[in-house]
Chain A
Amino acid sequence: MSHKKPAFVFPPFASDYPDDPFSNMPGYDVCFRKFLSRAAGFTDPDLKRFEVPGMTFLDDELKTQYISYIQACALISWFKSKGIVPAYSAGYSMGIYAALYQSEVISFLDGLVLIRQAFQAVNETIGKGAFGMCAIIGLNRDDIEQLIRKDKSGMEIAIQNSVCSFSISGPSTNIAKLVQTAQTEGALNTRIFNVSIPYHSSFLKDTAEDFWDFIAQMKFHSPRMPIISLIDQELLLEEEILKKEVVRNLYTALNWYETQLYLQELGVTRFVECGSGKGLVKNARFIEGDAVTMTANSFSATLGG
């Protein structure tokens, strides 16, 4: 009964950490610390030092991805302990690994392995190239494509979030110029992301072969609930298809806008942003439909005693 069950959406790495984002969720901190400790023992002992405020690792792209994944997995575990599992699992950008964990396709530790391997693969692909990403809000797709065409550096729309919100990937110098131009052309908000990787663009196409060779050896299980592709909105139900999705997620543009619309057609009336931020909650204001998008914290408050 999907109209009574939510879709859990797993965001990518954070850009900041708000104070007490899980205030309605007693026991979450303990759960998070357990997952953090396991991750630290397995992949990077430094992770144990994570603290908000203080040691947030926001200047370390890989650690930031680890932390977002660990937070998401702790949320999954917390909700599961309350008997709550979603009808659909959606991984926004690098949130795909948490979506796989939610659906019990991979183990927690395998998710860390995939994050590390993907990070190494993309860094090998870009080599010494300087890349980046930005957000532009307030211009439509045609406007942005026109600006990109004029620039001629091959920047690409990486993610469509709504009719007026986009993430763009490309060479970092051109990204910076694009942001300036977009402001002049009437963009209401622009932001350069703190990343050096042009995610979800063909700049990363060369990661495919080696990453596929790695992932082909891993054990994926059948998903417990459908995972939806943000690339083409297909419901991913088989192990091999999921592996291909993880690979192409790195170099293929995503469309969260169409994904959220499609999930609403499937009967989803609630979307839960499973992270510490509110980016997807805010973005949902610009997506048609009656579905409500809420933070994990707000969703937990609706669960009752």
Chain B
Amino acid sequence: MATITDITKKEVKEIVFNFFSEECEVDLSSLNENTNIIKDIDGDSLMFLELIEIFKKKYNLDIELKTIGKYAVKHPVQTIGQLIDMQLLIIEHENKLLEI
């Protein structure tokens, strides 16, 4: 189980915000943790998948996509803040995510 440091939290937030700013073609300044990914910035679930791939590579994570999918069914993600929280949990718990 990984330890989530303040540096990790900052990194994850930056990556997520920059990602949505670029993919959804919106100003970074217009995004906040309450931004609804689908309703406010026309995001989609493929973007969520791509972020997972980015973090899997960056933190060398051992986690199956379907584990994340099963977690997401019980803890749906709608806002950028919720997505950041879930990404941090993924980094922390990897394939033990469903045991939380």
Contact = CB atoms under 8 A, between A and B. Distances in A.
Interface of A: 137-140, 143, 164, 183-189, 282-283, 285-286
B65 A139 contact: yes
Contacts of A282: 44, 46
Contact of A285 (B45, B50, B70, B73): B50
Given A188-B49, A189-B44, 12 more contacts: A137-B46, A138-B65, A138-B69, A143-B66, A164-B49, A186-B64, A186-B66, A186-B69, A188-B69, A189-B46, A285-B46, A286-B49
Please classify the interface of chain B as helix (H, G, I), strand (E, B), loop, or mixed, using the class held by over half of its residues: helix
Instruction: Give me the 5 closest cross-chain CB pairs, A-B, nearest first.
Output: A186-B66, A186-B69, A189-B45, A186-B70, A138-B65
A139 B68 CA distance: 11
Best-buried of B50, B66, B68, B70 by chain A (most CB within 10 Å): B66
The residue among B64, B65, B67, B69 with the most chain A CB atoms within 10 A of its own CB is B69
A187 to B, nearest CB: 6
Interface in B16-43: none
B68 A188 contact: yes
22 contacts: A138-B49, A138-B69, A139-B69, A143-B66, A164-B65, A184-B70, A185-B70, A186-B64, A186-B65, A186-B66, A186-B67, A186-B69, A186-B70, A187-B66, A188-B48, A188-B49, A188-B72, A189-B44, A189-B46, A283-B46, A285-B46, A286-B49
A285 B66 CA distance: 18
A148 to B, nearest CB: 16
Interface of B: 44-46, 48-50, 53, 64-70, 72-73
Contacts of A183: 69, 73
The CB with the most chain A CB atoms within 10 A, among B65, B68, B70, is that of B65
Nearest to A182: B69
Contacts of B48: 188
A139 B49 CA distance: 11
Nearest to A187: B69
A184 B73 CA distance: 7
Contacts of B69: 138-139, 183, 185-188
A286 B49 CA distance: 9
Contacts of A187: 66, 69
Contacts of A140: 65-66
Contact of B53 (A143, A184, A286): A286
Nearest to B50: A285
B73 A138 contact: no
A183 B48 CA distance: 15
A186 B74 CA distance: 10
Contacts of A186: 64-70, 73
